[in-house]
Structure 1
């Protein structure tokens, strides 16, 4: 990673964390979704399906479809940008093979089938960030820094763990293998948990992290909102390197997206994207 390789400003702005799929970056705006070439930043298409919900994951892909949450749910052809409106509501989005998991800040977490029919709902005004789902379990954090593991089929709570130093997690968690990585939110501490038990494996003083972490085979990266991008050893939490905002002239960091060449940074203050590698 040697610094930004391209940047792209979009007419509709970027209102939520972009997604990488099929060698494209999907950037959600207030009223439209843009598909960009991940290497050059050139635009493939723009669809009339937008997201209004700040730092959360609001786009996800399954097969040849991009799903977008922005109050309602929309399904978009990944190749053409053709939009189909779906039943169901949500401000955030996570997918597995046959279900959609969304959250609403005034209503809690919902599970739908791929046609938008509701499967279960847990009512809560404390859940703000997007869910993560893997191998039949859904993980979610509430506004006070408590993480929950839920049965993806029923919504039953497997475990919950309150984390000191974590507060107002708007962007959701990252889950990989047997680990859950929790950003500090507006708190001071980001945390790695055992995905099965919820026990803390390590924690690190990151300061504010309003975006979801990016996880690789042996490292995890946090976009430190006011400071830069820091990479930590996935097993130990030891810091490996940091790219500072001042040195690389980043805006306020709202989120990160992994790509083959590095990491795309969503710069919330400028509504732009930069590639760091």
Structure 2
């Protein structure tokens, strides 16, 4: 396999398209990387593919495969932790070879978190696993009993993870012993798939729920400091699924699928400003800018007052939360991975490694780890706008 990785690296590294104007529909996309390509290489080398590893064997008659769990990375052992739709946890080494694997009973809804050499894995089977990232050896497991749907957050000696049933669990990092939990009743109607990853700052936890509420909790015992409804009345698609963001001035940012983007006072939950653009499912804060993704668009807002700076149409619902690396905004949009200039919203590159990308890539310095929808894991050497 290693010989194959080396021989195919060059052409695959340039299997991207460069777009300078308009929406992503103007950007040609290359197909499955298993097939030779004949197009000329683009004039700008934004990245190259170091290696790739096929993790999930194709299933007969499987339609539109989807991988939604973001990869994680252990820098010490140079191991990528990949969770795939076949219910398997894999540790992949720096050469693209699988070092270890562990099978669970169902697919994953969110990626792992690595801290101090331990991979904390949110199982779709309702179990939170703590595994040695280098070897896969299990340290402990906690049976939550509800399908876990967010990347675990490690803070103040606890692991926080939310379920698809609107429960936030807190267990001890060392042994997985239950510390506390906070639960809200989901609305009676339809909800958007996904859950809000909690944010921890200064002894407080900020997290959204599918009933349209954002809640501030005490990190010590899970008691509520305040709660605020962002979606108003109704019973369907009220979700606050975005990961909250908090700036250095005590201003909290979060989005409701129904009612758009909000800025709140973190201490009290009082409203500072709000937008009116619905359909938001992902939020990323960077400096003085807020980037949102959702139904058919990527937007950039000024954090100070919520002013819309630019909007990039997608023609489809985007995947999960974007990431920022080397001057570029990287957005998984299901059909491909889209690279945008964050200042202008201009599309630079659209890359389809085969069946598109739904999971948020993982950034590790100049490396970008991408899990495609067909279950292939890629390691990219990323140059960004410097390319």
Rounded to whole Å, the distance in 1 between the matches of 2:200 and 2:320 is 19
Deviation at 1:65, TM superposition (A): 3.2
1:120 to 220, 226, 230: 226
For 2:371 and 2:199, the matched residues in 1 are separated by 19
Q: What is the aligned residue count?
A: 260
Could you tell me how far apart the structure 1 residues matched to 2:368 and 2:130 are?
17
The answer to which of 24-33 and 117-126 deviates more is 24-33
Structure with the bigger RCO (C-alpha within 8 Å, sep 6+) is 2
The 5 A counterparts of 1:241-260 are 241-244=349-352, 248-250=353-355, 253-260=358-365
Return 193-202 or 80-89, whichever deviates more.
80-89
- Structure 1 residue 260 displacement after superposition: 3.6
Contact 1:65/1:75, CA 8 A, preserved across alignment: yes
Q: Is the 8 A contact 1:127 1:140 kept in 2?
A: no
1:32 to 2:107 alignment = no
1:168 maps to 279
Does the Cα contact within 8 Å between 1:34 and 1:43 map onto a contact in 2? no
Residues 152 and 139 from structure 1, CA distance in 2 versus in 1: closer, same or farther, beyond 3 angstroms?
A: same
Displacement of 1:22 after TM fit?
Answer: 4.6
Classify 1:14/1:89 alpha carbon distance in 2 versus 1 (closer, same or farther; 3 Å).
same
The 8 Å contact of residues 173 and 180 in structure 1, kept in 2 or not, is answered as yes
The 8 Å contact of residues 264 and 270 in structure 2, kept in 1 or not, is answered as yes
The within-5 A match list for 1:199-214 is: 199-206=307-314, 207-214=316-323
Q: Show the counterpart of 2:109.
A: 15
Structure 2: how far apart are the matches of 1:21 and 1:202? 36
Paired residue for 1:219? 328
1:108 corresponds in structure 2 to 213
2:175 corresponds to 1:72: no
Q: Give yes or no for contact 1:218–1:235 (8 Å, CA) kept in 2.
A: no
Kept after mapping to 2: 8 A contact 1:23/1:37: yes
TM-score normalised by structure 1 residue count:
0.78
What per-residue deviation string (whole Å, max 9, x for no partner) do you get for residues 211-240 of structure 1?
111123521111102x11112122222223
- Whole-angstrom distance in 2 between the partners of 1:174 and 1:201: 15
> The residue matched to 1:253 in structure 2 has which SS?
coil
Task: Give the deviation of 1:94 after TM superposition.
Answer: 1.9
Alpha-carbon RMSD across the aligned residues, in angstroms, is: 3.1
The aligned residue for residue 93 of structure 2 is: none
Describe the superposition over 1:9-52 as per-residue Cα deviations: whole angstroms up to 9, x where unpaired.
Answer: 422421125445556664422212345677x7x53546325564
Deviation at 1:4, TM superposition (A): 5.9
Bigger Rg, structure 1 or 2: 2
Aligned counterpart, 1:195: 303
Q: Which has the higher strand share?
A: 1
C-alpha distance in structure 2 between counterparts of 1:62 and 1:139, whole Å: 20
Q: 1:108 touches 1:124 (CA, 8 Å); kept in 2?
A: yes
Q: 8 Å contact 1:74–1:83 — kept in the other structure?
A: no
- Structure 1 runs, 4 residues or longer, greater than 6 Å off: none
What 5-or-longer segments of structure 1 have no aligned partner?
Answer: none
Q: What is the CA–CA distance in structure 2 between the aligned matches of 1:144 and 1:216, rounded to whole Å?
A: 29
- CA distance in 2 between partners of 1:25 and 1:238 (Å): 36
* Secondary structure, aligned partner of 2:107: coil
- For residue 68 of structure 1, report the CA deviation from its aligned partner: 1.0
The CA distance in 1 between the partners of 2:298 and 2:222, in whole Å, is: 34
Question: Partner residue of 2:153?
Answer: 60
* Matches of 1:37 and 1:5, distance apart in 2: 23
CA distance in 2, matches of 1:194, 1:256: 24
Q: Secondary structure at the match of 2:161?
A: strand
1:152 aligned partner: 266
- Cα 1:63–1:182 change in 2 (3 A) is same
Please say if 1:2 is aligned against 2:49.
Answer: yes
Give CA-to-partner distance per residue, 1:85-134, whole Å, 9 cap, x none: 31423653222231111222125111101020100001355233133222
The reply on whether 1:130 has 2:223 as its aligned counterpart is no
